[in-house]
Amino acid sequence: MHASRHARRACHAPRPHLGLGLRPAAHTGGRGLASYRESREAYTEHIERLPETVQQKRLVERLKAGDCPSPPVYFNTYASPPRPMDQKVEELTLETAGLSREDLLTSLDAAFATCCLHVESRIAALVGEGFYTIGPCGEELLAPVGLALRHDDPAALHYRHVAVAIARQLKSGKSMEEVLLDRARGYAVSTLDPVTSGRHCAIGGGTSDFIVTSTLASQ
């Protein structure tokens, strides 16, 4: 399967502009993207040792090599616990799943963007520019849920919300750049964050969305 439209670009090495992108340096007392890039360069060796960075590089290598396990191999090797593949999975097609090709590509875009945001949030925290790094592995798979929801369906998937929210935003016509910058602002608790204006790291902000955040203790 070909990589999705944004995924082929987004899944290469973590890019500095995914981290903050908050505002021009002139409006931050000299701090901005240039500052973040410099911090990243100063921490290059530490960044390369982050588990998230290591796993992302492995993923990119496997995608480039076409090393994507078939469903039977996945179920027998990677599923927990390993088990024979369900016959319904083998017979599943886009049509039977109720998905169009465009839906599939949007789901992949949201999934890869979620993965890249998790990695970059860890890097931003490492260099002292980000303040929220909870990244539950596997939530990328929930991106199709965002497509199944109507635009006015409220949703609050605690710690399983990023891919769903991104898919909904892309479906609504929001650009990938806007989505990534908004999440980066949330991780950095920026006053430009459209959800909380820097009060906390949360996700939501739509007219029908619940505001999803971490535990009450952190508020």
Which two structure tokens, joined as six digits, stand for 48? 């390369």
Q: How confident is the model at residue 22, as a pLDDT?
A: 41
Q: Give the tens place of pLDDT for each residue, 153-165.
A: 887 777 788 899 8
Q: How confident is the model at residue 19, as a pLDDT?
A: 37
Q: How confident is the model at residue 145, as a pLDDT?
A: 92
Q: How confident is the model at residue 32, as a pLDDT?
A: 62
Q: How confident is the model at residue 126, as a pLDDT?
A: 92
Q: Find the largest Cα–Cα distance for the chain.
A: 60
Q: How confident is the model at residue 173, as a pLDDT?
A: 92
Q: How confident is the model at residue 100, as a pLDDT?
A: 92
Share in percent of the chain as helix, strand, coil (round to 5): 55, 0, 45
Cα–Cα distance, 136 to 2 (Å, whole number): 26
Q: How confident is the model at residue 214, as a pLDDT?
A: 61
Instruction: Report DSSP state, residue 159.
Output: T
Q: Give the tens place of pLDDT for each residue, 91-124.
A: 888 888 888 999 999 999 999 999 999 999 999 9
Q: How confident is the model at residue 3, as a pLDDT?
A: 44
Q: How confident is the model at residue 119, as a pLDDT?
A: 93
Q: How many CA within 13 A on the CB side of residue 155?
A: 25
Question: Pick from 190, 40, 57, 192: which is nearest to 116 by CA?
Answer: 57
Q: How confident is the model at residue 54, as a pLDDT?
A: 94
Which two structure tokens, joined as six digits, stand for 177? 């750049």
Which residues in the chain land under pLDDT 70? 1-33, 135-136, 204-206, 208-209, 212-219
Cα–Cα distance, 202 to 183 (Å, whole number): 9
Number of Cβ within 10 Å of residue 14's Cβ equals 22
